[in-house]
A and B are shown apart, each in its own frame.
Chain A
Amino acid sequence: MSAISSIRKFVDQNRSTFLCYVAMLALLTAVSILRPGFGFGDPKHLRALLLQASVIGLVSLGQTLVIISGGADLSLPWTVAGTAVMMTIFTQGQDEKMIWAIPVVLAGASLIGLINGLGVAYLGIAPMVMTLATNNILLGLVAGIGMGGVGTMGQYGQPPPFVVKLATGTIGGFPYLVIIMVVLAALVTILLSHTGFGRRIYVIGTNPTVARYSGVDVRGSTIGVYTLNGFLCGLAGIIMTGKFGRAYLGMGDPYLFVSFAAVIIGGASILGGSGSYVGTLGGAMLLAVLLSLLPVLNMPRSVQLIIYGLVVLFAVFFATHRSTRRA
């Protein structure tokens, strides 16, 4: 009895996350039945789905942390594109140069995050505005420097073969990227639920004033969250170069909306203080299934956008409706 009630309590506490997984599985089952050769009927399709979900999950890693802390990161597109461009320029498609290139690129990405954090914590600029400004600054920097003769046609060199293998290769039919994602997901989940820093992220997201009076270093934690977010975006940027086999301007643009959507569908509140990375992964998988489903049903991009919007709207409405009713 107590086991059942504790499971029930667990489900009740994570209702949005569960709902998200249930919706994803239901959708996948429906496709498998309606269209033989898709979904569960075809391991290849399942693998493609997992890969797609991993990419969405990868770019949403930092966004999850930032949203839980009560912020938002609009600088994601050009942090990803900028680090990808740095990566290909530094390595020029050679594995040997990775030894110094990867630390430099990740340090650069963390620096972008640090600047965001300093602006939010010390200048008191709203996160949305600060990260919007950084995004514009990066856009200008990457495009401007790129026109200085480094790239042609907005493309910047080759990624090292090792990164390409990491992003597209498989081991025993299982993609490396999915394995990387599982490891990262475990690390971020442990960080959020089992460390003091993780707890502080929730606390400053719930109520920064109360957090400050409770002795939490709000400024330090904010800077920490944004720096970590920059680092994770850098990681995503590096892996993206391998996935696409190149770096190009605007390669991060489609991921801004997707990262927000994944985090929100996964049950996090846009106002901060709640959410989990497991939820985000559920959101990423649901989006991946939707994404793969729409071309199958011969739906153009226009209809995809409409459905995206409706799904996000529905997910948010459900989440807010529940939380206001409880309050």
Chain B
Amino acid sequence: MMSTESITLESGKKHTKRYPVRPSITVYDLVPLILFILVISLIFIIKPRLANVQFVELKANAGLTLVLATAGQTLALLTGGIDLSIGGVLSLTSSLAATMMTDEPLNILLWCAIILLIGMGAGLINGYVIAVLRVPPFIATLASWSIFNGLALLVLEDPGGHVSEPLRALVRSDPLGIPNSIVFIAILIVAWLLFKRSKWGTRLYAVGSDEAKAYLNGTDIVRTKMLAYVLSGCFAAVAGLYRTVEVGLGSPIAGDPFILTSAAAALVGGMSLAGGRGDLVNSILGAFIMLFIFDLIQFAGISSFYTPMVQGLFLILAVTLNTIGYRLQIRKALEQ
């Protein structure tokens, strides 16, 4: 993709410069897709009768929580940070949704709004501490995870509570003939593709790849980082709400497994801890790869206790492949 920019020189002549905005898609960007196809074809080879619509619907419904958490994590990772507080926010909103929401439409709307606001607030706090107070993201969000987890335990001591039935019916309904979770993922992807090409999307990549250069080019680092963490918090908040509706109860520790799994999924999807590269679509693929590994292990007749081990090995494999791919890409670019 090329972009043109005109600069009027001192002499009055117009100088037009063409420069690449973003490297075009190379084969290395397709590593997550290849892994995804590999894993899903393995599943269908082992259990051919699973290749049907119900399986896809089931997986989309079950996977949406992780997809949302991973989407948030991806935005934080893009800026070169990480958001461990996803777990705390998810637990807090899950607890709130299970204790506060009733069956009245107004009440549901109110609490949905409050949950979104909590996500935004959490993101604002994280963003402020990271971008303005310059606390390293890892430790800043580790601390805020602890705080939000504490708040979640204040709201709900043990897993339980109830789910608002109308909301559950709404989420489970399929007005378009396909499950809402698939519609939601599709909307997410379209929104991402639009966002990626927007001003703020470019800024997110710029801050992640080289903060100093981005600053010198006039990028508002503080606002860009704030935006990333606010969006991340919102995704985590919605993930908590969705998990409660999907599972049928709230839990003050619901989010804990998602802290590391969301990061792992994003990394399998080609994100880098250094920031500035990767793509949300690939991260979503990464989330499904992590979920399918669980299925594969079950189908292979291996105890599901080994799942984390295989996920760990897969994480090392995927990150190594991505690193090698990235190095080859750089070498190729240097040769040109």
Contacts and interface: CB of A to CB of B under 8 A. Distances in A.
Contacts of B320: 123, 125
Contacts of B260: 74, 132, 136
B3 to A, nearest CB: 32
Contacts, number: 141
B143 A129 contact: no
A218 to B, nearest CB: 17
A133 B315 contact: yes
Contacts of A98: none
30 contacts: A123-B320, A126-B274, A128-B273, A129-B267, A132-B264, A132-B315, A136-B315, A137-B312, A140-B307, A140-B309, A140-B311, A143-B305, A144-B303, A146-B305, A147-B303, A147-B305, A271-B136, A302-B151, A307-B150, A309-B146, A312-B139, A313-B129, A313-B135, A313-B144, A313-B147, A317-B129, A320-B135, A320-B136, A321-B133, A324-B134
Given A119-B316, A133-B313, A140-B305, A305 B135 contact: no
A124 interface: yes
A307 B153 CA distance: 13
Interface string A235-259: 0000000000000000000000100
B154 to A, nearest CB: 4
B143 to A, nearest CB: 4
Interface of A: 72, 74, 119, 123-126, 128-130, 132-141, 143-144, 146-147, 257, 260, 264, 270-271, 300-310, 312-313, 316-317, 320-321, 324
A134 B264 CA distance: 12
A134 B139 contact: no
Contacts of B112: none
B215 to A, nearest CB: 15
B311 to A, nearest CB: 5
Interface in B120-144: 129, 133-136, 138-140, 142-144
Given A128-B138, A133-B315, A309 B150 contact: yes
A124 B136 contact: no
Contacts of B273: 126, 128-129
A302 B150 CA distance: 4
A141 B313 CA distance: 12
Contacts of B147: 305-306, 309-310, 313
A213 to B, nearest CB: 20
B263 interface: yes
Contacts of A72: 138
What secondary structure prevails in chain B residues at the interface with A?
helix
Contacts of A126: 273-274, 319
- Tell me which of B263, B274, B309, B323 has the highest count of chain A C-beta atoms within 10 A of its own C-beta: B309
Given A140-B307, A141-B309, A143-B308, 17 more contacts: A123-B319, A129-B263, A133-B264, A135-B312, A136-B260, A147-B303, A271-B136, A300-B153, A302-B150, A302-B157, A305-B146, A306-B147, A306-B151, A308-B143, A309-B144, A321-B134, A324-B134
Contacts of B232: none
A236 B308 CA distance: 23
Interface of B: 82, 129, 133-136, 138-140, 142-147, 149-154, 157, 260, 263-264, 267, 273-274, 302-303, 305-313, 315-316, 319-320, 323
A303 B136 CA distance: 24
B150 A137 contact: no
Contacts of B310: 140
A79 to B, nearest CB: 13
Given A270-B136, A313-B140, A316-B143, A140 B150 contact: no
Contact of A305 (B153, B157, B264, B311): B153
Nearest to A301: B153
A123 B318 CA distance: 12
Interface centre among B129, B149, B274 (most CB of A within 10 A): B149
Closest 6 A/B residue pairs (Cβ): A140-B309, A136-B312, A305-B150, A309-B146, A302-B153, A306-B150
B76 to A, nearest CB: 13
A133 B307 CA distance: 12
Contacts of A316: 135-136, 139-140, 143
B269 to A, nearest CB: 13
Q: Which of B138, B142, B310 has the most CB of A within 10 A?
A: B142
A171 to B, nearest CB: 37
A124 B139 contact: no
A140 B316 contact: no
Nearest to A135: B312
A130 B316 CA distance: 7
Nearest to A304: B150
A309 B133 CA distance: 16
A319 to B, nearest CB: 9
A320 B132 CA distance: 11
A78 to B, nearest CB: 9
